[in-house]
Structure 1
Amino acid sequence: MPGPLHGIKVVDLTTVIAGPYATQTLGDMGADILKVEPPGGDIMRAPGPARSPGMGAAFLNCNRNKRSITLDVKREQDLAKLRALIAEADIFVHNMRMGAARRSGLDPETLLARHPRLIYCAIVGFGQDGPYRDRPAYDDVIQAAAGWAALAERAGEVPRYAPTVVADKTTALFAVGAINAALYHREVSGEGQAIEVPMFEAMVSFLAIEHLGGRSFAPPLGPSGYSRALSPHRRPYRTADGFIAVMPYTGAHWRAFFRAAGRDDWADEPALGEAAARAAMIDILYERLADCLTARRTAEWVAMLEEADVPCSTINSFENLLDHPHLKATGFFETVEHPSEGRLVGTRPPVRFSKTPCSIDKQAPGRDPANI
């Protein structure tokens, strides 16, 4: 069976990560994605490593299941071609600033007036009803603006970015959810609509779940922040020969861990039986955890804690993950043949549909002028 979005046509005028990852996800679900690139190609083609110019790893990893053409939307002739493509599409996605979209006649008002069934999705830096609407936005800027970078400072470090483009990829998933909801609305009403997915607001919403904390109440019941996540003692812990992740969460977990570590005195503390009491002493508990773990080797702890049903994991690198027994069993990493780049290693779509499975039908588009 084809994927759940089989038959849906998407015109993808996005670059870098947020837009391309969103449209790749739609493509994995069966949508027909036409990627429109500027002369010279998507800027994300450049960063390596790469076997050939313009075919960097990150580009390959967020542009599968797409066809590609080159259009210079600053030229009226190419802009007319783009408008003709949009007229035949179900979905139009872009990550231009809205001022540029309006100057090109690619704003939602213009396009929806002509194509009332169109689903128009704009991935922008900041919501368009605020004073920051015209500001440029990239992942690092949004991590700083949305409060992510400052969380490290709350945990006793200097402000820092996550070592992944978390704002781009999180925003991409917001866009996928919104587009699928709009498709459902169109199915029952016959109407298209405009969707705005602002990176800043998406990331503030993402972080506010736990970190709005005491400021969730009016008047506040305390400062912002989630104490467990911000504890300076929450980290991968040293063992006798390396590191391990251990996450006792319930009272039963904590008791099982301390008994496995030979600390029945800590396991018998009444406070472990109450969630609020555990939260109040979380720094102490994490310190005790760290003290205990240095006594044994990582493999010993993993075996003991799995037996005790305490959540834990080794600290995996991507080199480890490529040979991970669970990922091997599920066939998650696949070796494929790219038309121009040879053998590549990639991931299967992580979401499973029982009746309309995702699939990978095309590798990322190459730089052959006949292709783009």
Structure 2
Amino acid sequence: MSETDPMPRVGMKPFSGIKILDLTHALAGPFATQLLADLGADVVKLENPNHQDFSRSIPPFAGDHSHYFLAINHGKRSIAADLRTENGRRLAFELAAKADVLIENFRPGAVDRMGLGHEAVSAVNPALIHCSISGFGQEGDGSKRPAYDIVIQAMSGFMSVTGEHDGAPLRSGVSIGDMVAGLYAVQAISAALYEREKTGQGAALDVSMFDALASMLSYYVTLAQVSGRSPQPNGSRHATIVPLGSYRASDGFIVVAATTDAFWRNLTKAIDREDLLSDRRFVDLASRQEHREELAKILEETFLQRSVADWTESLDKHDVPNGPVLDILSLIDNPVAVERQLFRPVETTVGDVMVTRYPVIDRSIGLPEERRDTAPALGENRADVIRDWLGREPAVEEGTT
């Protein structure tokens, strides 16, 4: 290979060689570091052997692995150290001094008390990117509040627009407050690594679950101000686009998204109701918004008459955006998911379990090679991590007492 030839690219691994010291637990932090591991980073998960990540204990289990822990910790390495002891803190500090990124989601102030705060570590590692995920940020009165996903969903306004019309506010089925914060953490870390290439300087990133989920409300924020009313929950319907939602067919549910007048015309053909085109209540989006309940009743009665498969065939024929409502087991076997290799197997003592892959494909390379690295047992990579990161042999008692 000549000096001008590009480096060969095997899979989408832009963070290969990047060291991530992972002090996270539960979901938001581990989800972020899982994505970083998927992108090629060497993620070393450091846990207290006496107070390990509680997600290791959440049933059901695949052999020795909690389903929950397996989902967001595969492909990482594990080291155990009690950060309440001098030996444990010393080892953690040594690792932080060699890391590119330190990420944690303790309560604000906890890592400072451990001696692993941004100021302490950046004094010896000025290029370190220190990322903290918390409920309400690292400073201010809100930072003192304990936070879980449901609290963030409630206080961010997210639950106020989630649920059935005139029903109680509902929590999203997935812990979206945690996961959105994890996504923003990865985005911020990626940007900080890029900036570091230009300046050589690290960063102190403050990722608030509250801020992250509130930012996802986007057009709901402007809608509330322009209309003068806070949007209300509408089930699967859209706040402003009509018709868009789920409908019960004879054997299941199907969603339809007639987002434009062209798709609306196509929909009337697909359901054999072209008479609706001349109905003044539905002639344009503003009219359909005003008469959304009347239109919903018509569509609900219509979709009940045929099966999901029949409607899918008709809607596809007339180019109407639609899809069946799949359960999770159906999703894993769905032809689109299989074709795109959306899930990959990891090994457990009782057989393979499918996990999600990083969901972006670099088409210049193709799909990444199948990876089967499982989640690590507590502390199983201690010796290798100390050798690889610190360049020495581990002491017998190091970090464990």
Structure 1 residue aligned with 2:362, among 333, 353, 370?
A: 353
**Matches of 2:293 and 2:171 in 1, distance apart?**
24
Kept in 2, the 8 Å contact 1:213–1:224? The answer is no
**Matches of 2:17 and 2:61 in 1, distance apart?**
33
- Matches of residues 5-20 of structure 1 in structure 2 within 5 Å? 5-20=15-30
Residue equivalent to 2:190: 180
What amino acid is aligned across from residue 231 of structure 2 in structure 1? G
Kept in 1, the 8 Å contact 2:71–2:355? The answer is yes
Kept in 1, the 8 Å contact 2:118–2:130? The answer is yes
Give the 3-state SS of the residue equivalent to 1:249 in structure 2: coil
What amino acid is aligned across from residue 17 of structure 1 in structure 2? L
Structure 1 residue aligned with 2:377, among 360, 366, 369?
A: 366
1:358–1:170 distance in 2 versus 1, CA, 3 Å:
farther
Structure 2 residue aligned with 1:293, among 297, 303, 313?
A: 303
How far off is 1:282 after superposition? 3.4
How far off is 1:193 after superposition? 0.8
**Matches of 2:290 and 2:16 in 1, distance apart?**
51
Give the 3-state SS of the residue equivalent to 2:132 in structure 1: strand
Q: Encode CA deviations 1:231-278: one digit per residue, 9 max, x unaligned.
A: 899652111232211121111111111222222221234675644444
Kept in 2, the 8 Å contact 1:243–1:315? The answer is yes
What amino acid is aligned across from residue 104 of structure 1 in structure 2? M
Mapped pair 1:222 → 2:222: no
- Matches of residues 329-340 of structure 1 in structure 2 within 5 Å? 329-338=339-348, 340=349
Kept in 2, the 8 Å contact 1:247–1:311? The answer is yes
What amino acid is aligned across from residue 373 of structure 2 in structure 1? K
Mapped pair 1:166 → 2:176: yes
1:326–1:154 distance in 2 versus 1, CA, 3 Å:
closer
Q: Encode CA deviations 1:156-189: one digit per residue, 9 max, x unaligned.
A: 2112211111111111101010000000100111
Residue equivalent to 1:212: 221
Count of residue pairs brought into register by the alignment:
365
RMSD: 2.4
Residue equivalent to 2:6: none
Kept in 2, the 8 Å contact 1:272–1:278? The answer is yes
Give the 3-state SS of the residue equivalent to 1:343 in structure 2: strand
**Matches of 1:287 and 1:76 in 2, distance apart?**
68
Kept in 2, the 8 Å contact 1:21–1:169? The answer is yes
Residue equivalent to 1:304: 314
- Bigger mean CA offset, 153-162 vs 34-43: 153-162
1:154–1:261 distance in 2 versus 1, CA, 3 Å:
closer
Kept in 2, the 8 Å contact 1:233–1:283? The answer is no
Q: Encode CA deviations 1:119-174: one digit per residue, 9 max, x unaligned.
A: 01000110233311111111111111112222246732112211111111111101
Kept in 1, the 8 Å contact 2:280–2:287? The answer is no
**Matches of 2:123 and 2:313 in 1, distance apart?**
63
What amino acid is aligned across from residue 210 of structure 1 in structure 2? Y
How far off is 1:38 after superposition? 1.6
**Matches of 1:347 and 1:78 in 2, distance apart?**
33
Give the 3-state SS of the residue equivalent to 1:22 in structure 2: helix
- Matches of residues 48-197 of structure 1 in structure 2 within 5 Å? 48-53=59-64, 55-152=65-162, 155-197=165-207
Give the 3-state SS of the residue equivalent to 1:12 in structure 2: strand
**Structure 2: 5+ residue stretches without partners:** 1-8, 383-401
What amino acid is aligned across from residue 355 of structure 2 in structure 1? G
What amino acid is aligned across from residue 166 of structure 2 in structure 1? G
1:305–1:265 distance in 2 versus 1, CA, 3 Å:
same
Kept in 2, the 8 Å contact 1:99–1:134? The answer is no
Kept in 2, the 8 Å contact 1:154–1:230? The answer is no
How far off is 1:333 after superposition? 2.5
Give the 3-state SS of the residue equivalent to 2:62 in structure 1: coil
Give the 3-state SS of the residue equivalent to 1:316 in structure 2: coil
Give the 3-state SS of the residue equivalent to 2:73 in structure 1: coil
Kept in 2, the 8 Å contact 1:259–1:267? The answer is no
TM-score normalized with structure 2 length: 0.84
What amino acid is aligned across from residue 84 of structure 1 in structure 2? E
**Matches of 1:167 and 1:16 in 2, distance apart?**
13
Kept in 1, the 8 Å contact 2:152–2:213? The answer is yes
Q: Encode CA deviations 1:68-93: one digit per residue, 9 max, x unaligned.
A: 01111111210110000000010000
1:247–1:354 distance in 2 versus 1, CA, 3 Å:
closer
1:284–1:111 distance in 2 versus 1, CA, 3 Å:
farther
Give the 3-state SS of the residue equivalent to 1:133 in structure 2: helix
**Matches of 2:351 and 2:251 in 1, distance apart?**
39
Kept in 2, the 8 Å contact 1:253–1:310? The answer is yes
- Bigger mean CA offset, 4-13 vs 320-329: 320-329
Residue equivalent to 1:43: 54
How far off is 1:292 after superposition? 1.7
Kept in 2, the 8 Å contact 1:239–1:298? The answer is yes
Kept in 2, the 8 Å contact 1:155–1:230? The answer is no
**Matches of 2:164 and 2:139 in 1, distance apart?**
31
Kept in 2, the 8 Å contact 1:234–1:286? The answer is no
**Matches of 2:188 and 2:325 in 1, distance apart?**
34
